[in-house]
């Protein structure tokens, strides 16, 4: 379950909520059956709380939103990507600790 500050993105709202966002957006591409995704989820929740007002944080369930995964070349999960100005500007794949994600966020927020 996502934290209070974590949005749910889908093919229906991705353009409006991610691509047209005035702030940087951290997108967690995940699936419920993915163990590393479940491991990174609490870290994503913490970051959403810590960066509230500076970075939008949300998740895309790849099982329910396959076209988004294909469009952005997500081949493995979890993939955490930063979108800014309507484009993906950074990404990491696989479980990473909070320090790596903070470094990525700080370089784009």
- Domain definitions of the chain by residue range: 6-106
The pLDDT, as a whole number, for residue 106 is 94
Annotated active-site residue 50? The verdict is no
Cα(30)–Cα(35) distance, integer angstroms: 10
Annotated active-site residue 34? The verdict is yes
> Would you place residue 1 in the very low, low, confident or very high pLDDT band (cuts 50, 70, 90)?
low
Catalytic residue among 34, 68, 80, 82: 34
**17 close to 58: Cβ distance less than 8 angstroms:** yes
Interval 20-77: pLDDT, tens? 999 999 999 999 999 999 999 999 999 999 999 999 999 999 999 999 999 999 999 9
The pLDDT, as a whole number, for residue 99 is 95
> Would you place residue 2 in the very low, low, confident or very high pLDDT band (cuts 50, 70, 90)?
low
Taking phi over 0 as left and psi of -120 to 50 as alpha, with beta for the rest, 101 belongs to alpha
Tell me the CA distances in angstroms from 52 to 12, 15, 90, one per residue in order: 23, 20, 19
**What is 6-106's CATH number?**
3.40.30.10
- Model pTM score: 0.95
Catalytic residue among 18, 25, 27, 37: 37
């Amino acid at each position: 379950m996502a934290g209070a500050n974590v949005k749910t993105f889908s093919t229906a709202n991705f353009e409006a909520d991610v691509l047209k966002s005035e702030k940087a957006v951290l997108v967690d591409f995940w699936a419920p059956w993915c163990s590393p995704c479940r491991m990174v989820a609490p870290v994503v929740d913490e970051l959403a709380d810590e960066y509230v007002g500076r970075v939008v944080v949300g998740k895309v369930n790849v099982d329910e939103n396959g076209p988004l995964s294909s469009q952005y070349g997500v081949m493995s999960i979890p993939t955490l990507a930063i979108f800014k100005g309507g484009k993906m500007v950074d990404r990491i794949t696989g479980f990473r600790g909070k320090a790596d994600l903070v470094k990525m966020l700080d370089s784009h927020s």
